[in-house]
Structure 1
Amino acid sequence: MRIRTIPSFAAGAAVVLALSSCGSSGSGGSGSADIDDPELQELVTAAQEEGSLTLYGVPDESLLRGVADEFAELYGVQIEPVRLVSADLSQRFSSEADSGQPASDAILLTHSPFYAEALEKEWLTPLTEAGVPDYPDEYPEDYVVEDGDVPLVSLVPTSMVYNTDEVSSEPDSWEDYADPEHKGKLAIADPATSPANLAFWQIMRDEYGDEFLESVAENNPTWHNSAVPGTQAVAAGESTLGHPGVQAIVDNLKEEDAPVEATVPGPTTGPEIALGLTADAQNPNAAKLFAHYILSEEGSTHLAEISNAASPYGLGLDDFQRPEPVSDEQEAEIEELLGAE
């Protein structure tokens, strides 16, 4: 079954407007951070004069607000978060930047070729030229890309989602996706919707062979355009297993007493969220201060803890395999094997 759930532009715009209207705003305050670096203090003062910044991000809204709350507490500068899925974020950002009217000050987006294009078109400020305190000297060098101009700030492990009313015990292998017991009851994001999804299925090929992907196809998955509708389908009992799982989405549904859980039953990979600073931003100092915060061990660890993700500083990295690029040929083979063409 091939059902692609693609939200309408009007619905997406309504969500964006709702999130924007809920965002914090206003003049900056003193903050609680203990700062002894004159350069950093000068930046904090300039950021407080701007008062706020607009952050476009792909992490769940609750995570963006968790980061925003701590940042405001530390520095007295508000963050107005706008949460979008990767495709919508890159499209919106590109359209605004190309028109010369960027609305964001910073972005948190899954690393992809978009960043190289945005740097080439001067839509983003190269981080090595932005003058962010302590970057790149104190940042883990294995987690910078595009010649150091794009830092990876969060590594999100892919999990399996399951309905606790329909599945008697926690799945202990990715091979459960191929179990005939779940035929017609799989909710899976199309691999082509994300480089991380493609990387995951390539790991599955390496781990279990092509036969595994073919067996998944035989279970007649329902294909979705992101993790959100698939996880919702599992929570509603329309499917028993879902992929990929994002812990923040699962946690939000659990707060509504939905019978859904997530587990990582074997080797996994996942999206690598990267930071970008908007060129010609309306609040460049606030954006630069946010970059300093999210690239610090304190900010990075806080994001990892509230999102159950991994930090470049080491937290949660033990079971995470960095996603490897998947060639066009491999992508075509994965799509064919899974029946997702």
Structure 2
Amino acid sequence: MNKITRRSVVLGAAVALAAGLAGCGGGPSAGEGTAEVTDPALKELVAAAREEGTLTLYGIPDEQVLRAVAEKFTELYGVQVRPVRLVSADLAQRFSSEADAKAPASDAILLTYSPFYAEALQKNWLTPLSSAGIPGYPENYPADYLAQDGDVAIVSLVPTSMVYNTDTVTQAPSSWQAYADPRYRGKLAMADPATSPANLAFWHLMRQNYGDDFLRGVAANNPAWQNSAVPGTQAVAAGEFALGHPGVEAIVRNLRESGAPVDTTIPGPTTGPEIGLGLTAGSEHPNAAKLFAHFLLSEEGSGLLAEVSGAGSPYGKGLPQGFERPAAVSPEQAAQLKQLLSSQ
């Protein structure tokens, strides 16, 4: 398959996703739902959410992941979902602009957990989960994944993987050190570490495991630095690059199912972004947002998100051996990583 054809496959998959999203929002029409609700507090919340009828969800997971979760929520509770997929930086900027203007368009957000959440809570842009009145929260949720004193919950753990073109790389690399192998000079597509705290945490982990010379070796291979994982993954799928970073399993799965020669591997210790759930303060559909939070914080909802995204659940599902939760990277360490990698 030549590069033009591969690129057509990649773009065709993206167009199909966009068309599906534009058509109807989240899935089944609003209605009664199939969930059997007996708890009085939850029953009252379900009735209020159905009265509102709709939920607007801003999220960074892949479009098909958002759709799958939205469709299950609608099936259970009869509340329609409009998912809006954005990369982390764009989502944070859009949400902040709307909140600062006191014109929120979202009801809930799924965004990489970062200092953004503390700022948004301090500015009253988010309703603290601990005081939102979500039935069963926080006592039934894994305590290790409660942040900001329970005002934010970590709902997804996304292991960082390596993405590779299966036509160019016939055997999955066995070590992250492949990124520094001279045979891949000019053949790497990588998200700039500065685009995400999780990317910085990954390269910090690589520095701890493989040393500064490994990072210098990566820099010597002249990576094409990207503003997120998406364009790099698409370029690897199209055959423009051999290896990419980071691999996002849900995106790669969609491309592979469309016929693109692309796959992922986790060839050693890894970390990855943690996605937090936030409820938009002053939103148009607060009860639908609280009900969605109840669903996503349940073992059923968390397990569904992990299954469709290829990520891990706070309830212990889906995490690879050797996964480490992302460590905080100081500004000094971030500057050192940028210098060693010669990133933008």
Q: Same fold (TM over 0.5)?
A: yes
1:139 alignment partner in structure 2? 141
Please show how residues 42-53 of structure 1 align to structure 2 within 5 Å: 42-53=44-55
Distance 2:253 2:220 in 1: 30
Distance apart, 1:145 and its partner CA: 0.9
1:10 alignment partner in structure 2? none
CA shift digits 1:226-257 (9 cap, x unpaired): 00011111111111000000001111211221
| 2:95 aligned with 1:97 | no
Q: 1:282–1:17: structure 2 CA closer, same or farther, 3 Å change rule?
A: farther
Q: 1:65–1:217: structure 2 CA closer, same or farther, 3 Å change rule?
A: same
Counterpart residue identity of residue 170, structure 2 = S
SS for the counterpart of 2:169 is: coil
2:231 alignment partner in structure 1? 229
Residues 159 and 246, structure 1, Cα contact 8 Å, conserved in 2: yes
2:260 alignment partner in structure 1? 258
Counterpart residue identity of residue 242, structure 1 = G
What's the RMSD between the two structures over aligned residues? 1.6
Residues 202 and 326, structure 2, Cα contact 8 Å, conserved in 1: yes
Counterpart residue identity of residue 40, structure 1 = L
1:339 alignment partner in structure 2? 342
Distance apart, 1:171 and its partner CA: 1.1
SS for the counterpart of 1:72 is: helix
Distance 2:54 2:22 in 1: 13
2:177 alignment partner in structure 1? 175
Distance 2:211 2:51 in 1: 57
SS for the counterpart of 1:147 is: helix
Distance 2:62 2:319 in 1: 21
Distance 1:307 1:81 in 2: 15
> Alignment partner for residue 74 of structure 1, among 69, 73, 76?
76
Distance apart, 1:36 and its partner CA: 1.4
Distance apart, 1:16 and its partner CA: 9.1
Q: 1:118–1:247: structure 2 CA closer, same or farther, 3 Å change rule?
A: same
Counterpart residue identity of residue 75, structure 2 = E
**Greater alpha carbon shift after TM alignment, 317-326 vs 200-209:** 317-326
1:328 alignment partner in structure 2? 331
Distance apart, 1:33 and its partner CA: 1.0
Distance 2:48 2:19 in 1: 28
Distance 1:27 1:258 in 2: 33
Q: 1:18–1:88: structure 2 CA closer, same or farther, 3 Å change rule?
A: farther
Q: How many residues align?
A: 327
Distance 1:321 1:259 in 2: 29
Q: 1:99–1:292: structure 2 CA closer, same or farther, 3 Å change rule?
A: same
Residues 28 and 50, structure 1, Cα contact 8 Å, conserved in 2: no
> Alignment partner for residue 290 of structure 2, among 288, 291, 302?
288
Give TM-score scaled by structure 2 length: 0.92
> Alignment partner for residue 302 of structure 2, among 300, 303, 316?
300
> Alignment partner for residue 28 of structure 1, among 27, 30, 33?
30
Distance apart, 1:316 and its partner CA: 2.1
1:205 alignment partner in structure 2? 207
Residues 27 and 67, structure 2, Cα contact 8 Å, conserved in 1: no
SS for the counterpart of 2:149 is: coil
SS for the counterpart of 1:196 is: helix
Structure 2: gaps (5+ residues) = 1-16
Q: 1:35–1:18: structure 2 CA closer, same or farther, 3 Å change rule?
A: closer
CA shift digits 1:1-55 (9 cap, x unpaired): xxxxxxxxxxxxxx99994554148973111112110110110011111111000
Give TM-score scaled by structure 1 length: 0.93
Residues 25 and 51, structure 1, Cα contact 8 Å, conserved in 2: no
Distance 1:22 1:270 in 2: 32
Distance 1:25 1:321 in 2: 35
Q: 1:256–1:318: structure 2 CA closer, same or farther, 3 Å change rule?
A: closer
Distance 1:175 1:24 in 2: 41
Counterpart residue identity of residue 49, structure 1 = E
Q: Percent identity?
A: 68
1:55 alignment partner in structure 2? 57
1:9 alignment partner in structure 2? none
SS for the counterpart of 2:150 is: coil
Counterpart residue identity of residue 208, structure 2 = D
Distance 1:72 1:102 in 2: 22
Distance 2:172 2:19 in 1: 38
Distance 1:250 1:27 in 2: 29
Counterpart residue identity of residue 112, structure 1 = S
1:11 alignment partner in structure 2? none
Distance 1:271 1:127 in 2: 20
